[in-house]
Every structure is written in C-alpha cells, then in structure tokens.
Amino acid sequence: MVEEYTRVGDKWYYLLHPRPVYIVASGRRDAKAGFMAASWLMPLSEEPPRIVAALEKTSHTTSLVLDTGAFTVNVYGIGDRDFVYTSGTISGRKHDKVSLLNVRLNYDTVTGAPRIVHPRPLGFIDSRVYRVVGDVADDVYLVIGDVVGAYADKALFNERYGWDLRKVRILMHAAGRAFTSNSGVFVARKLA
C-alpha cells in the first residue's frame, strides 16, 4: 500500500466524516417521548421516497421507533451543537431529556411522531418505518423509513437547490465533541 496513507483501525468510519447530524425523535403523545442524536442516517431512494438509518439497538429512542413505527428527523444548524451533542450523550432511559434540555415537542405530524419545536430545527422529515433489518450488525438496527413529509425553513431552502449554503450552516458531526459545518458553494464543471 502506498506510503502516504496510514492504515486506520477501529475508527475507520471517521473516513466517512464529517456528515450531518440529526435529532431522531419518536414516541406517543401520552407517554414519554424520546430523542437522540444520529448521524448514520441518509437518503435511500427517490422511488419510493425512503431514508435509512443505523440506530443503536440499546437506545430508548430506537425502542420507541420500533414500537410506534414512526419518527421524525430534525436538521439543525451549527448554533445548536451543544443541544445536539448533549442529546447524544445522555440516556432517555435514565433521564427525562425533554425537561432536562428544555425541549418542546409537537405531534401535528402525519405519522403522529413528535417533531421538535424548541430548539427550532432548520427543517425536519416525518417518516413511517417501512422495514427494520436486525441481523446485519450486532449493535444497530438498519431502519428503513418512508418519507411521509419533508419541511424546511422557507428563508433557507428552495426546492431547486436545496439549502441555501451561503446563508445556512448545517450541523455536521466530526468526532467526539468536534462538530463542523458547510463552507460556501463551489460549482463544478464537466470535464468530458
């Protein structure tokens, strides 16, 4: 193997960072809701509109996703990194994260899953679980969800180009406490 490269061990997945980090929220209106940070979540297909997430088997929020069959994916800006980081480091089994982090939820989604109102996300996706694959990893479920609705801040998003990257600073996770965000826009040209 070429000299300039170092072989990476346990932290091989850092090669695929940075990437957006989200808050996945789930639960029933009349029971304790759950939410957690998740960055291993991505679009799966346009036809039909689906997303896929690798969710820790032991997480409280994951059990709510499986129980209720619905969840929201909340997208944040760099300014909310403390909230997102903390959401990913304390357990909803041991703590009432909603009151501890002063979170407000709303259940006005199509699926009935809670979306986060405060701290206010840049946008969110409302998703219904389509399939859960449990036997592809020891530590996570691969959760595939139908996109039932997608909502973005009017001032920061348009359907042609997506996020206005000159205005918005999307929160991405690097490693541990380290987060990053997008820079401006670089337009590519076709070489051939």
Residues 18-47 within binding reach of a second copy (CB under 8 A):
18-20, 22, 40-47
Question: How many residues interact with a second copy (rule CB under 8 A)?
Answer: 101
Site for a second copy in 56-85 (CB under 8 A): 73, 75, 78, 81-85
- Residue 73's alpha-carbon distances to 3, 10, 81, in angstroms, are 41, 28, 16
Q: Are 113 and 65 in contact (CB under 8 A)?
A: no
If the CB atoms of residues 30 and 185 are measured against a second copy, the closer one turns out to be 185
If the CB atoms of residues 31 and 91 are measured against a second copy, the closer one turns out to be 91
Q: Are 51 and 40 in contact (CB under 8 A)?
A: no
Cβ 99 to a second copy shortest distance, Å: 10
If the CB atoms of residues 30 and 47 are measured against a second copy, the closer one turns out to be 47
Return d(Cα 59, Cα 64) in angstroms, integer: 9
15 binds a second copy (CB under 8 A): yes
Site for a second copy in 125-164 (CB under 8 A): 125, 130-131, 133, 136-140, 142, 144, 147, 149-155, 157, 159-163
The pair of structure tokens assigned to 23 is 């808050």
Return d(Cα 21, Cα 23) in angstroms, integer: 7
Q: In whole angstroms, how large is the CA radius of gyration of the chain?
A: 17
105 binds a second copy (CB under 8 A): no
